[in-house]
Amino acid sequence: MTERIDLRLHLVTDSALCGTRGIEAVVEAAVRGGATCVQLREKALDTRPFVERARALKALLAPLGVPLLINDRVDVALACGADGVHVGQRDMAPEDVRRLMPPGSIVGLSIESAAQMIAAERAPVDYYGLSPVFDTSTKTDAAPPLGLAGVRRIRAMTMRPLVAIGGIGFENAAGVMAAGADGLAVVSLLCKAADPEAVARRLRQLMDGTT
């Protein structure tokens, strides 16, 4: 599965941080700048408007070849025809997600420790979301930061792709990639940006070593 998904730069959405511009405008701009995957995360939205928002993003992203993942909600993913689902340690088990989603769907799993990594290697997932690498304000129940040493330690434990999230910014993006991440996921850096396209482009330059 992961050979057909570009994991380098995930935009994880936050509707409150996107503000009056709306998620679609922020997503479209970020993709123009180089975001390669979008994860729709809506913890407080009712199901029907969640599905409507997901369908709108799927219609926007599909012609661009950018996959849409839904955070946690398999029902929403099925309703909108999303490319996959990302789950956390307290969400639906990856085995159940895989069973419910269509063949070829992407399944991601959040990992917060080496112990979780050991157990996760038996799960039918395509990539891990490594979280949090640094302190973050966008997830109030986050585990203690792993730091670059934690990224290196978990990199040595698996051959599966790692997407790092939590406190990622211009000052540390290259270092996280050098520590072994295959991609970065960002929330506030893109959702709050006055110019998401420019921010995504700058991140890609730092990640890809072209600046």
Provide the 3-class DSSP secondary structure of residue 198. Answer: helix
Q: What is the pLDDT of residue 210?
A: 74
Spell out the residues 6+ positions from residue 196 whose beta carbon is closer than 8 angstroms to its own: 26, 29, 30, 33, 190
What pTM, to 2 d.p., does this model score? 0.94
My answer on whether omega of the bond before 132 falls inside 30° of 0, hence cis, is yes
Q: Which of 32, 55, 139, 160 is catalytic?
A: 139
| Per-residue confidence (pLDDT) for residue 3, from 0 to 100 | 57
Catalytic pick among 110, 131, 202, 204: 110
Tokens at residue 186, please? Answer: 């960002």
CB-count exposure of residue 123 (10 Å: 0-12, 13-18, 19+): middle
pLDDT of 211 strictly over 70: no
Q: Pick the closest to residue 10 from 173, 124, 145 (CA basis).
A: 173
Single-letter residue type at 23: I
- Residue 4 clears pLDDT 70, i.e. is over it: no
Q: Which domains are delineated in the chain?
A: 2-208 (3.20.20.70)
pLDDT in tens, 100-127: 999 999 999 999 999 999 999 999 999 9
Task: Please report the pLDDT score of residue 136 as a whole number.
Answer: 74
The one-character DSSP state at 90 is: T
First to last CA, the chain: 30
Q: CA–CA separation, 205 vs 131, rounded Å?
A: 23
Active site residue 139: yes
| Residue 42 near residue 71, CB atoms below 8 Å | yes
Mean pLDDT over residues 121-137, rounded?
Answer: 92
130: enclosing H helix or E strand: strand 127-130
Q: What percent of the chain has pLDDT over 90?
A: 91
pLDDT at 191: 97
> Which one of the listed residues 8, 41, 53, 204 is annotated catalytic?
41
Per-residue pLDDT at 50 = 98
DSSP character string of 118-180: HHHTTS--SEEEE--SS--SS-TTPPPP-HHHHHHHHHTT-SS-EEEESS--TTTHHHHHHTT
- What is the DSSP secondary structure assignment for residue 182, as one 8-state letter? S
- Give the residue-averaged pLDDT of 169-175: 96
Is position 204 annotated as part of the catalytic site?
A: no
Q: State mean pLDDT over 80-101.
A: 97
Residues 6+ apart with CB under 8 A from 32: 197, 200
User: Running DSSP on this structure, what letter comes out for residue 186?
Assistant: E
**How much is the average pLDDT of 82-108?**
97
Q: Which position has the higher pLDDT, 47 or 5?
A: 47
